Structure 1
Amino acid sequence: MPRRGRLTTWYRARSLRSRLTFLTTAAVAVAIAASALACWFIVEQRMYSVVRSDLEDVRGPLPRPNLKDCAATPQAALKNVQTSPQLPPTNISAPRDTQFVVIVGQSSLVCLPPMATRAMVLDPGDVRALDLDPNHFLIRDGHYTNGDPAMIRISGARLDTGQPTLVMVAAPTKAVDESLRQLAFVLGGVALGGIILAAVAGRLVARSALKPVDQLTDAVEHIARTEEVGTTIAVQGDDEIARLSTSFNSMSTALANSRERQTRLIADAGHELRTPLTSLRTNVDLLIRSDDTGRPLPPATRTKLLGNMKAQMQELTVLIGDLLQLSRPDSPKPVRTLSVVALHEIAERAVERAKLRGPALVFETSTAPWFVHADAAGLERAVINLLDNAVKYSPPGGTIAVRLDGGVLTVRDHGPGIPQDELPYVFDRFWRSPSSRQLPGSGLGLSIVAQTVREAGGEVSLGPAQDGGPGALATVRLPGGPSPE
């Protein structure tokens, strides 16, 4: 496996805290290394620039060598310098500890200044300085014959005899190199210490920053272990971790509410199913017992009993259909399941069905064209539920007014109306007014209406009639338009 692949595998196998520490340490290490290198190069450039500037500032007349005492090589010149000074004293200005060498003529005679203890190593390219103007010179890095480093200035000149001469002025750089070496050790130590401190600080920062994540992990593991939804964690600040914690608390609360609604739905469904099932079982037991005892029921009684059983089966069928309708999520359906629906046609069909259920009632209908995006079957069932509710509570010979205008559908009956303290509960599942418990129904019709209208992006309300008369007024508002486009 390539080295990069092994590093990636190792990195991914670490915990989030370790990865955060590693990244923090790596970032600080790169920053410190870059700063240390930049500092070292800046100091190096500055120190060598000072030495170079000193060499460039050398001024004064050239020394006049005594040619007969000059040697052929720097080493030979050094042997003679103690007994026979090669260059007379001069008032030339030069940096402290600067060494002069004068090379005279084509024989490369080397003349050293008085009390010289070392000479520069010559380079074949130094003769280029003979072609330069008197005020121009070359500067290069070199070293003395004893191995010490130096920066050398080379210029060309001519003696009174007309002989071409190279004048070499050297400034030692050993002290500069030693200073730079010490600086490198200091910067390296500082960088290493900074990296270690960065690793420690990164570990502490990672532990502190990931503490809310640890709490979140503990809460999730607690929920997974105990299935106790609704557990929340403390939220501090408004950063990303706080937003994550808030989202988790919202999710946990939503799950708890969903489970509570599910539990309540099952309990209410069981309660609603118990009554018709008990009645059915009683009637079936009565029929079986009459057959077993050989004492059949009178035909009229048997017919009435079977009719009751059929009605109870129909009630069960309606109740189960309502439960299936409400078992869907409360969130809106995807757009692809919706279609353009003619609300006025649905209202007209629902009125025709309501007339069959309330033949003694008077229906006043006024519908204007209105098209909406909705589930056609669900929306038709919702409108039918509204009309069934109006039929159920309307007195014999009463009037039910159905109006559709500008996307607002209203159903107005003239029944007993709804008490003010019961209005907040009319759309709750299985809720039924205490005054209407004796009437047929499961308490799911208006819940289905509310859910269907919400899925279509509309609003529904139920309250007392606005004209001050008896009865209730149901209002449904759905977005759409008077044409299907």
Structure 2
Amino acid sequence: MRLVGRLTGWFRGRSLRSRLAVLTAAAVAVAIAVVAVACWLIVRNTLYGQVQQSLKDADPPGAPNQSRVLCDTSAAAALAKAATAPEGRLPFHQNKYDNQFVIADGTVCFPPQSNKIIQHTDADLTASTGKPVYRKGSYADGSPAMVRIWGGATTIDGQSAVLLTALPTQDVEDSLRSLALLMASVAGLGVIGAGVTGRIVARSALKPVDQLTDAVEHIARTEEVGTTIPVNGQDEIARLSTSFNSMSTALANSRERQTRLIADAGHELRTPLTSLRTNVDLLIRSDAQGRALPPETRARMLGNMKAQMQELTLLIGDLLQLSRPDTPNPEAVRAVVPFHETVGRALERGRLRGPSLVFDTDVRPWYVHGDPAALERAVINLLDNAVKYSPPAGTIDVRLQGGRLTVRDRGPGIPAEELPYVFDRFWRSPSSRQLPGSGLGLSIVAQTVQDTGGQVSLGPAPDGGAGTQAVVVLPGQPEEPR
């Protein structure tokens, strides 16, 4: 267990490329080992099967009166007699096999011209009669052999004898040993080759990961977001690269929007702050010099300062509204909002801001899931926009039907070339820059509608007449959910 733990720790401490190479080599080694062992076993069984088949073809035991054998209580002594005896008409020596008789009392007999002693065991003496038994054995000199045991089918001097017939298997053993050595060498070369190949394949397969790592390290070192890496193929690495490129691009866009927001906010804040500072300096200078300003001038300056403070307050509120993320926050407070009531409250405030205007309304029930305060702010911004650009005594149409809110004024309209920019932060039409506003109202509308899961658009009046129509579509239902 300790060794396994050390190996596991070593393996986890390696790089991904090294681990892939090791795993590849290990998998190939296991596969080669399984194939090599299977081949070796098949070859061994085949070769020993051939030897056993040869023993099956050997002469069966002969009748005792047809056999002349030389016996002794010692196998070595009996073999010495048989080695010098003249060859007789013995069926046992008419083939290529080594034969040997063993009697129950321990007497060993050999046919003439025999030259090998077959090692026998006590189990050989109890072999069944009429059916041969095969086993691996050896000669007295230790060389291997395949032995056929045929018990009880032969008698010598009236005693039942067991016939041992053997074939040497040294050539088979040598062949198997050579085959094992060859397979081990091939397996070793295969494992080494697999390790090298695995290293090459891992390096090639992990090249996008290296590029991804370099890109991440570059971003961490330089803080230059927006760096991308090439994407090849459609595998998991390609998906990872694509996701990283998307994330990097999103970060770059977010930083660009943040930078632009800060720059635009600074530009918008500079004008009222400069005017405030000028007016405050004039008031301080007049008091310091003891030269009081005319009451009318002083009242006008204080009125301007109040208007500029209100403009600053409105601008800061808009900036706080836009400081939220562009994507919806799942943890934000989202409730069932009676959107028709929200539109009704916004209409009341719109009538106060445009007392000379006519509001033609048709508001029907619609319930949505969203932030009540943000939705009301968005509708008020749409109505403020319509009030701002409507001519005196003009008409503003407000419709809410089936989750589709339309706000249409009779103002000068928006040129077609400016429509793509109306929802950009701080963007203001060149023809309306003299009017009050920060250029953030429609941006807030777009963000709120997006957070609620809806869509917003702004375009010319649908009937071809004067004015502009804003359309907001929000998902919901005409009845309050239960």
TM-score normalised by length of structure 1: 0.94
Structure 2: distance between partners of 1:123 and 1:159: 19
2:146 to 132, 145, 151: 151
Query: What do residues 166-206 of structure 1 show as CA deviations (whole Å, max 9, x unaligned)?
Result: 11111111111111111111111111111111111112112
How much has 1:52 moved relative to structure 2? 1.5
Judge conservation of contact 1:86–1:111 (CA < 8 Å) in 2. no
Instruction: Give the residue type in structure 1 aligned to 2:442.
Output: L
Judge conservation of contact 1:63–1:90 (CA < 8 Å) in 2. no
Judge conservation of contact 1:101–1:120 (CA < 8 Å) in 2. yes
Is residue 72 of structure 2 the alignment partner of residue 71 of structure 1?
A: yes
Superposition pairs of residues 460-471 of structure 1, within 5 angstroms: 460-471=456-467
Match of 1:478 in 2: 474
Match of 1:435 in 2: 431
How much has 1:73 moved relative to structure 2? 2.6
Aligned residues: 479
CA change 1:63–1:112 in 2 (3 A) is: farther
How much has 1:252 moved relative to structure 2? 1.6
Match of 1:307 in 2: 303
CA change 1:337–1:93 in 2 (3 A) is: farther
Superposition pairs of residues 374-385 of structure 1, within 5 angstroms: 374-385=370-381
Is residue 402 of structure 2 the alignment partner of residue 401 of structure 1?
A: no
272-281 vs 15-24, which moves further: 15-24
Judge conservation of contact 1:88–1:113 (CA < 8 Å) in 2. no
Question: What RMSD over aligned residues (CA atoms) do the two structures have, in Å?
Answer: 2.0
How much has 1:91 moved relative to structure 2? 7.2
Judge conservation of contact 1:63–1:87 (CA < 8 Å) in 2. no
Structure 2: distance between partners of 1:414 and 1:429: 24
1:340 to 321, 331, 336: 336
Structure 1: distance between partners of 2:94 and 2:449: 101
Match of 1:32 in 2: 32
Query: What do residues 54-101 of structure 1 show as CA deviations (whole Å, max 9, x unaligned)?
Result: 22233445264767841123211111113335874217886x4x2111
Judge conservation of contact 1:88–1:114 (CA < 8 Å) in 2. no
- 3-state SS in 2 of match to 1:151: strand
Structure 1: distance between partners of 2:234 and 2:61: 77
Instruction: Give the residue type in structure 1 aligned to 2:213.
Output: T
Superposition pairs of residues 110-259 of structure 1, within 5 angstroms: 110-129=108-127, 131-132=128-129, 134=130, 136-156=131-151, 157-159=153-155, 163-259=159-255
Judge conservation of contact 1:344–1:369 (CA < 8 Å) in 2. yes
1:292 to 288, 293, 301: 288
Structure 2: distance between partners of 1:93 and 1:208: 69
Query: What do residues 377-397 of structure 1 show as CA deviations (whole Å, max 9, x unaligned)?
Result: 111100000000001011111
Match of 1:54 in 2: 54
Judge conservation of contact 1:63–1:88 (CA < 8 Å) in 2. no
CA change 1:263–1:296 in 2 (3 A) is: same
Which runs of no fewer than 5 residues in structure 2 stay unpaired? none
Judge conservation of contact 2:69–2:111 (CA < 8 Å) in 1. no
How much has 1:283 moved relative to structure 2? 0.9
How much has 1:279 moved relative to structure 2? 0.7
Structure 1: distance between partners of 2:182 and 2:335: 77
Percent identity over paired residues: 63
Structure 1: distance between partners of 2:119 and 2:296: 138
Instruction: Give the residue type in structure 2 aligned to 1:462.
Output: L
- 3-state SS in 1 of match to 2:84: coil
TM-score normalised by length of structure 2: 0.95
300-309 vs 447-456, which moves further: 300-309
